[in-house]
Structure 1
Amino acid sequence: MNRSLVLSILSDDKPGVVEALASTIAAHQGNWLESRMSHLAGKFAGILQISVPADQLPALRQALSELQARRGIEVVASETLEAETGEPLQNLHFNLMGNDRPGIIRELSQAFASHQINLDDLQTHCTSMPWSGDPMFTAEGIISLPVNVNMEQLMDQLNDISDELGVDIELGEPEDSVTQQ
């Protein structure tokens, strides 16, 4: 029987990090399933899901912990839980753009959490506005919300945040917007 793990990885950004992870996983009959990895501020950061035979799990955990001593690669491994089936969720895409300032993600995530909305995917960027050079912050992602969420209240709250922080927030429906969780 296979077990599923989610790994979070942090290392100095240098060649061979992914190869060291892939070799360690393969050496324990693991299968690399899904990942997101990125270079941020001189660091390599990532998350990935793997499947590994249950009898290989202890040895794999040990090998992953040894990567830090040998290669400077920090790995935190967490076994996944079985997905709970519950009420249908509606997926929406969101986009935020405006002048950069502290607290934007805090305000946005608090609004989502207050409506029992799960933040499934979040990508943020900080760049310069072309016409002024001022810092511009963008965020986009996918949220999953119960189908009974009061959309009028949610939009009122997001509009209040937009006005307070001077940002634009848009919600839109991606394809296949209802999924079973």
Structure 2
Amino acid sequence: MQTNLLVISALGDDRPGIIDELAGLITESGCSIEDSRMTVLGADVAMVMMVEGRWNELAKLEAGLPAAGRRLNLQINAKRTTTAVPSGNRLPYTVEVVSIDHPGIVQHLAGFFSTRGINIREMATTTYTTAHTGTPMFQVHMTVDVAASQHIARLREEFMDLCDQLNLDAIIEPAKL
């Protein structure tokens, strides 16, 4: 049986209860949240959810999203999707990077992996200020999919060389699942 999936993204003013209300709409339509991410960015909340349901339940949910967006003051987008098909023999690796904040860090890291055909599956970044000096810092956490045929020692060496050039503290290691 084919799984029917819908990806929903929502962005708007943060306030208590907003996730409860959106989750309630999903439940009322007969669907269920299979995977989700939520974060507060500035004064806004950003949510991404993958919802599963029968085709008619997803259609009911899709039809109710515009009104829910207006009522909840959210910009909501939805797109049908399918279950991901594994692409070859890939292994998940975790990448952690910390440095003094400066423009271009994400672009350099993404470019490094992209030119090697390595997909970034997840990425989270944050900035913070050090307690004692007030130095602005930047932190990146990624999960990347590395082909099993990739020479990992060479990849790690090239990655660390890039990080040295950019003055980044970094690690790349097998993901702990």
Q: What is the TM-score of this pair, normalised by structure 1?
A: 0.88
Which residue does the alignment assign to 2:99?
98
Q: Distance in 1 between matches of 2:136 and 2:87?
A: 41
Q: Note closer, same or farther for the CA distance 1:81–1:17 as it changes in structure 2 (3 Å cut).
A: same
Deviates more, 1:36-45 or 1:15-24: 15-24
Q: Is 1:75 matched with 2:56?
A: no
Which residue does the alignment assign to 1:11?
12
Q: Deviations over 1:8-50 (max 9, x none)?
A: 1111001221122112112211112221111110001111111
Q: Distance in 2 between matches of 1:16 and 1:137?
A: 30
Which residue does the alignment assign to 1:112?
113
Q: Is 1:53 matched with 2:50?
A: no
Which residue does the alignment assign to 1:22?
23
CA contact (8 A) 1:17 1:73 kept: no
Which residue does the alignment assign to 2:160?
159
Task: Please report how far the alpha carbon of residue 82 of structure 1 lies from its aligned counterpart in structure 2 after TM superposition.
Answer: 3.2
The amino acid that maps onto 1:118 is: N
Task: Please report how far the alpha carbon of residue 155 of structure 1 lies from its aligned counterpart in structure 2 after TM superposition.
Answer: 2.9
What RMSD over aligned residues (CA atoms) do the two structures have, in Å?
1.8
Aligned residues: 176
Structure 1 unmatched ranges of 5 or more: 177-181
Q: State percent identity of aligned pairs.
A: 23
Q: Is 1:41 matched with 2:42?
A: yes
Task: Please report how far the alpha carbon of residue 152 of structure 1 lies from its aligned counterpart in structure 2 after TM superposition.
Answer: 4.4
Which residue does the alignment assign to 1:179?
none
Q: Distance in 1 between matches of 2:173 and 2:64?
A: 44
Q: Is 1:64 matched with 2:65?
A: yes
Task: Please report how far the alpha carbon of residue 94 of structure 1 lies from its aligned counterpart in structure 2 after TM superposition.
Answer: 0.9
Q: Deviations over 1:81-130 (max 9, x none)?
A: 23224311111111101110000000001101111111112121211123
Q: Distance in 2 between matches of 1:48 and 1:24?
A: 13
Q: Note closer, same or farther for the CA distance 1:85–1:123 as it changes in structure 2 (3 Å cut).
A: closer
Deviates more, 1:148-157 or 1:73-82: 148-157
CA contact (8 A) 2:99 2:167 kept: yes
Task: Please report how far the alpha carbon of residue 137 of structure 1 lies from its aligned counterpart in structure 2 after TM superposition.
Answer: 0.7
Q: Is 1:135 matched with 2:136?
A: yes
Which residue does the alignment assign to 2:90?
89
CA contact (8 A) 1:2 1:54 kept: no
Structure 2 unmatched ranges of 5 or more: none
